Amino acid sequence: MSFLFNKHNHFNLANIVTFFNIASGVFAIYFLTHHEFFAAALFAWLAGGFDIFDGKIARKYNLSTQFGIQLDSYADFLSFVIVPAMFIFFAVIDTKEPFLFMPLVVFAFVYYVISGLRRLIQFNINADEGKVEKFFTGIPTPLGAILLWVVYLIFLTGFISETFVLLMMILIGYLLNSKIKIPHL
């Protein structure tokens, strides 16, 4: 079991927790494609929990490596960029495409995904093993996912339209790469 605390083993404890984040994202996608939104949301939130703990474990046990940094960003891309975008598509947009302005639909989804990917790549370029900055520049992808979740909950109340959801998706995509400073907890 010493491999769990070996910094150079790709299956150390921190990375295993990140793999659970990835698995949770995959399960969320599975449930989204079957229109099981409650189960999808549970796995998306579970992915968020794993994302919190993988970094804490890596720092506590000195397991932070370039491999782990890259792995964490791939997990974040899946769980906090792709899953929320798919959630909005399947829960809000799906079957309503004939009634919506399709260039806006396409732009919102492509822009959000590219914005999330760009944010994670820039984060990796600036990341140092074992270091945690006091502030994030731009909103982190997990916060972007939470903001999309809040938009979805407001949509369920009937107070906002599908078009407004798409506009919020574009705004959140912009905030991912903005200059706004968010304290690191």
Fold of 13-182: Four Helix Bundle (Hemerythrin (Met), subunit A) (1.20.120)
pLDDT number for residue 157: 96
Position 140 pLDDT exceeds 60: yes
Confidence of residue 132 (pLDDT cuts 50, 70, 90): low
pTM over 0.75: yes
Dihedral angle over CA of 35, 97, 81, 50, nearest 10:
-10
pLDDT number for residue 131: 66
With beta carbons less than 8 A apart as the criterion, state whether 58 and 64 touch: yes
- Report how far apart, in Å, the C-alpha atoms of 32 and of each of 74, 81, 91, 112, 113 are: 20, 14, 8, 18, 17
Position 23 pLDDT exceeds 60: yes
* CA–CA dist 178, 173 (Å, integer): 9
Instruction: Compute and round to an integer the Cα radius of gyration of the chain.
Output: 17
pLDDT number for residue 6: 81
- Report how far apart, in Å, the C-alpha atoms of 172 and of each of 7, 93, 107, 143, 169 are: 35, 17, 13, 9, 5
DSSP H stretches of helix in the chain:
13-33, 37-60, 66-77, 83-88, 102-126, 141-157, 162-176
pLDDT number for residue 90: 96
Helix (H, G, I), strand (E, B) or coil at 135: strand
Position 129 pLDDT exceeds 80: no
pLDDT number for residue 130: 57
- For residue 86, give every residue at least 6 positions away whose Cβ sits within 8 Å of its Cβ, in sequence order, or none: 29, 32, 33
Confidence of residue 136 (pLDDT cuts 50, 70, 90): confident
Mean pLDDT, the chain, rounded, equals: 93
- Report how far apart, in Å, the C-alpha atoms of 184 and of each of 138, 139, 143 are: 11, 10, 11
Helix (H, G, I), strand (E, B) or coil at 63: coil
With beta carbons less than 8 A apart as the criterion, state whether 33 and 82 touch: no
Confidence of residue 151 (pLDDT cuts 50, 70, 90): very high
Confidence of residue 104 (pLDDT cuts 50, 70, 90): very high
| Mean pLDDT confidence for 157-165 | 97
